[in-house]
Chains A and B, each alone.
Chain A
Amino acid sequence: MRFIADLHIHSKYSRACSPALEPGPLYRWSQLKGITVLGTGDFTHPGWFSMLQEQLVPAEPGLFQLKPELARQQDRNVPASCRAAARFLLEAEISCIYKRDGKVRKVHHLVFAPSFEAAARIGASLGKIGNIRSDGRPILGLDSRDLLRIVREASPEAYLVPAHAWTPHFAVFGSESGFDSLEECFGDLVGEIFAVETGLSSDPPMNWRLSALDRVALISNSDAHSPEKLGREANLFDCELSYGAVFSAIRGRYPKWFLKTLEFFPEEGKYHVDGHRKCEVRLEPEETIRRKGLCPSCGRPVTVGVLHRVEKLADRKKGKKPSGAADFEHLIPLKEIIGQALRVGAGSVRVDALYHRLLARFSNEFHILRELPAKDLEKEGFPLLALALDRMRKGEVTLQPGFDGEYGVISLLAKKDFSHQDQLALF
């Protein structure tokens, strides 16, 4: 079957994350978004682990579902148009901070487990090394290679995938504290790495420029810190619904099973180009190089973004798609599109009201973004939305890239699109 999976999120136990990140609301939001398989996040956290054990029951092999009585409560707040199966897959993120070859490395990794038993074994091993109780995404003074070994020893079906591989501060290829290659990071165990998560600020074509990544799959996830952000990036599969099938599809990079990733425009990500947020300085990579990496405002080194870093490590030009690579599709969160059409912030009450109205009228968010004919929106009385959606699908967007922690801005509509009549038509 065809389904969407978002394999990297967080729970309420992670630092700076929404208290709403509990199994029930996650189940509800999976349906609103159109996600069939959702990572649990944070399974190493003892509080979250027991909450998952209490509220989930086994579903298909390696997947879990919300207990029926809890699901019924949540379903009251899910419009019939969105009701669908929603599954969980045990996932956690670990922050490794350690020194290698005299340099400080800070690298985040995703860890996946096929069962509560395997997850408990990983938790127990990590609990001996450091503090896994304070933060759902624990910080450990552990070498990435050693983490990989612990994960692989916990179960033959437990896996590690480097998270948001290009973000400057906390990633395997990060400009600030990462490595130049997977080999450098994982040493003799590099063969166990079969995928990397591309992160919001990079998309597959950027990653295709490194021939070293030809052998790994590129996956995309939301890294959501609140339920509404679920699925802002995700993966589209067409395979059996099970833990084993999902990872076979990824590991084998079977284009018939692992169809595509659903992506941000990478410019929208927080670390796409270079710059200094505090100095309000945004630099394209060429400009940074010309300025020898220094901020024109404060004179200190700028935060080098993902585009620059890819450029630095790339060994081929744009345009080549490695064989076996999954396809991709650029999307913009529906609330942002609505916000642009209404000319208000994506977080406003009006946007929220219209969002839920559209979901109830049509179907889940992914359906609206990817499949709903634009003319249906027009017929329903939303011509500007239809226009914006159409432009997103065609990639006709204006981009103001993100830098140094500042999200980029993607514009779908221009001033001239807003005529008096259209404005009225919205209501």
Chain B
Amino acid sequence: MNDSELDSNQRAAVLATEGAVVIAAGPGTGKTRVFAHRVAHLIRDRGVKPREILAVSFTRSAASEMRERIAALLPDADLSDLWVETCHAAALRILRAEKHPFPELAIAEEEQRLELLADIVPRGEAKAWLEELRGSKQRLEWPQDEASQRYQEALRQRGLADFDDLFLFVLRLFDERPEVLERWRGRFRHIIMDEFQDTSLAQYRFISRLAGKDFCVIGDPDQSIYGFANDGGSAERFEPFTQFAKDRPDRRTLALSENYRSQGIILDAAQQVIARNPTRLPRQLRARLERGMPIDISGHQSDRQEAEMVVRRIESLLGGASRFTVDTGWARDEADSRSYGLSDIAILYRLNAQARRFELALERIGLPYMTYGKKTKKDGREVLAEEDLEDFRDNERAAPSLVHPAGESITLMTVHRAKGLEFPVVFLTGCEDGILPYRREGDDSPSPEEERRLFYVGMTRAGSRLLISYARKRFLFGKTLALEPSPFVADIEDELRRLEKSEALPRKQPKNKQPELF
């Protein structure tokens, strides 16, 4: 399907421009296409001016890609007044336009924040203290304690704001000066918001205040994987779709249910996994692609062996990366007889700490790869929420790739970071109980339902080949863990999978040895 074509569900979603609309869009159903066409339709067919539209994307890279797609659909339109922004960027633009709370508002960098805190909070506690502060800001509460007030004052004196202050500022501005809110609300007659399932309370409050009659949200509750980041530590989890239903009882819900990304078997397996989430409303996606290859599921003795086998498999998917692999028959024949390129392949994992093994194995062969995200060497207990959050903020801030290499490479990233991306070949690795789903001692483990959604997000990144692996032993955060396969893996029915024994490195067998035993 080329970009100008729409299926009937997509067309209905594009044309439903009046009132409050929920577009429930499963993975690979053409959400971005619908979003872009909706904006184009408003401008081209409904006489809406570009300046009257606010299009909200989840990441900066998504926003810039969206802008390009809209521009491609409207080659002759002047789109300089069209806002295609992340929530944070939209808030910042409004604040800057209103010169509130000060004329040249800038966002404080991590180092600046720590520097300001030097006199306020003992050094070792600064990060934890900031996390707490962030939580309260996420709940839209201005912190009242003395240290926080001193910190906010220090920011103010330098014309700085925390990333999380933006929504507090803008909502305060709307409260204090209703005419300002009216002006902006009068301007943005059409608001469209993407990745709605991962909207935080603060973001939602901000956008819904701006929204008038025509307000469209697009998203997939099954792909909500940032609940922990958005609840601000409050006991009750903010559920954007539920809140939207309460606020806009007049809403219409349209579903996109034709999946154009994944082959049938992959999509079926993903749905078998997600269907087990107890609070999920039943819904079904239909694959538009062929059934495809069964899902490879392989168990390994150790994380090291898992990495070696993944890399060997990559070599055969590439159709042999070197003469050595081709001539020695090391590269096995892949049943789909298709060769994939480096950039078609992603290795996904739950924790950034899992990347190193893959990097070492790829280095040995000399295959180009790019690891996205930070590496952390701390105790796993503190690291997890922090690094998921890091992925979350990077997603908010910029493209997942901060550096663009000139060459193609294999992608290494966490499942969190892979949100919104797709690859013909996905290795979903470290699928062990305790890793994915991740569990910590004590009761601060991530929600099992959210972990299941994360697994689902990982699976649905794959177009043609999904290869799931787990290890019995894993060295992580200074400890060797004995692990069982993830319960999610067992939810994939046998007909859709091909179980693979972990292969030992090929050894020369005496040729005349007959398999008489069998």
- Residues on A facing B (Cβ under 8 Å): 15-16, 95, 97-99, 104, 106, 128-131, 133-135, 137-142, 146, 167, 169-170, 176-177, 270, 277-278, 300-301, 405
Contacts and interface: CB of A to CB of B under 8 A. Distances in A.
Given A138-B366, A141-B405, 8 more contacts: A15-B366, A97-B408, A104-B319, A104-B339, A128-B406, A130-B368, A134-B365, A141-B407
Contact of B368 (A139, A167, A177): A139
Contact of A99 (B366, B367, B405, B408): B408
Contacts of B409: 130, 141
Contacts of B321: 95, 97, 106, 139
A81 B111 CA distance: 71
Nearest to B333: A300
A131 B319 contact: no
B509 interface: no
B319 A177 contact: yes
Contacts of B340: 104
Nearest to B317: A104
Q: Which 3 pairs across A and B sit closest by C-beta, in order of nearness?
A: A141-B408, A134-B366, A135-B366
Contacts of A130: 368, 405, 407, 409
A170 B323 CA distance: 8
A206 B164 CA distance: 69
9 contacts: A98-B342, A99-B408, A129-B407, A130-B405, A139-B322, A139-B367, A169-B319, A176-B319, A277-B329
Given A98-B342, A301-B337, A270 B327 contact: yes
Given A98-B341, A104-B341, A177-B319, A131 B368 contact: yes
A302 B260 CA distance: 32
Interface of B: 318-324, 326-329, 333, 337, 339-344, 363-368, 405-409
A405 B342 CA distance: 24
Contacts of A405: 326-327
B327 to A, nearest CB: 5
Contacts of A97: 318, 321, 341-342, 368, 408
Contacts of B339: 104, 176-177
B406 A129 contact: yes
Contacts of B341: 97-99, 104, 141
A138 B407 CA distance: 13
A146 B368 CA distance: 16
A135 B319 CA distance: 19
Contact of B406 (A133, A137, A142): A142
A198 B319 CA distance: 23
- Max chain A CB contacts within 10 Å: which of B320, B322, B364, B409? B322
B342 A129 contact: no
A131 B333 contact: no
Contacts of A169: 319-320, 323, 326
Contact of B405 (A129, A133, A278): A129
Contacts of B337: 300-301
B407 A98 contact: yes
Chain A interface SS verdict (over half)? loop
Nearest to B406: A129
Contact of A141 (B324, B326, B329, B343): B343
Contacts of A278: 329
Contacts of A95: 321-322
A176 B319 CA distance: 9
Point out which of A97, A106, A277, A300 has the most chain B C-beta atoms below 10 A from its C-beta: A97
B interface: dominant SS: loop
B206 to A, nearest CB: 41
Given A141-B368, A146-B406, A131 B343 contact: no
Contacts of B327: 270, 405
A184 B367 CA distance: 25
A376 B346 CA distance: 64
Given A277-B329, A300-B333, A104 B318 contact: yes
B342 A141 contact: yes
B102 to A, nearest CB: 41
B131 to A, nearest CB: 36
Contacts of B408: 97-99, 141-142
Nearest to A277: B329
Contacts of A170: 322-323, 326
A139 B366 contact: yes
Contact of B363 (A15, A128, A134, A301): A134
Contacts of B319: 104, 106, 169, 176-177
A281 to B, nearest CB: 14
Contacts of A146: 406
A14 B405 CA distance: 24
Contacts of A177: 319, 339
A277 B327 CA distance: 9
A178 to B, nearest CB: 12
Contacts of A141: 341-343, 368, 405, 407-409
Nearest to B367: A139
A146 B321 CA distance: 20
A10 to B, nearest CB: 11
A92 to B, nearest CB: 14
A106 B328 CA distance: 18
Nearest to B321: A139
A343 to B, nearest CB: 24
A91 to B, nearest CB: 17
Contacts of B320: 169
A177 B322 CA distance: 12
A128 B409 CA distance: 13
A133 B363 CA distance: 9
Contacts of A142: 406-408
Contacts of B364: 134
Of A99, A131, A142, most B-chain CB atoms within 10 Å: A131
Contact of B343 (A99, A137, A301): A99
Among A95, A129, A167, A169, find the residue whose CB has the most chain B CB atoms closer than 10 A: A169
A98 B319 CA distance: 12
A302 to B, nearest CB: 12
A294 to B, nearest CB: 11
Q: For B320, B339, B363, B407, which residue has the most chain A Cβ atoms within 10 angstroms?
A: B407
Nearest to A176: B319
B323 to A, nearest CB: 6
A131 B324 CA distance: 18
A133 B407 CA distance: 16
B366 A131 contact: yes
Contact of A15 (B322, B329, B368, B406): B322
B345 to A, nearest CB: 11
A263 B329 CA distance: 27
Contacts of B323: 16, 167, 169-170
Nearest to A135: B366
A178 B343 CA distance: 18
B434 to A, nearest CB: 32
Contacts of B322: 15-16, 95, 135, 137, 139, 170
A99 B320 CA distance: 15
B324 A15 contact: yes
A294 B409 CA distance: 32
A347 B408 CA distance: 41
Nearest to B318: A97
Contacts of B363: 131, 133-134
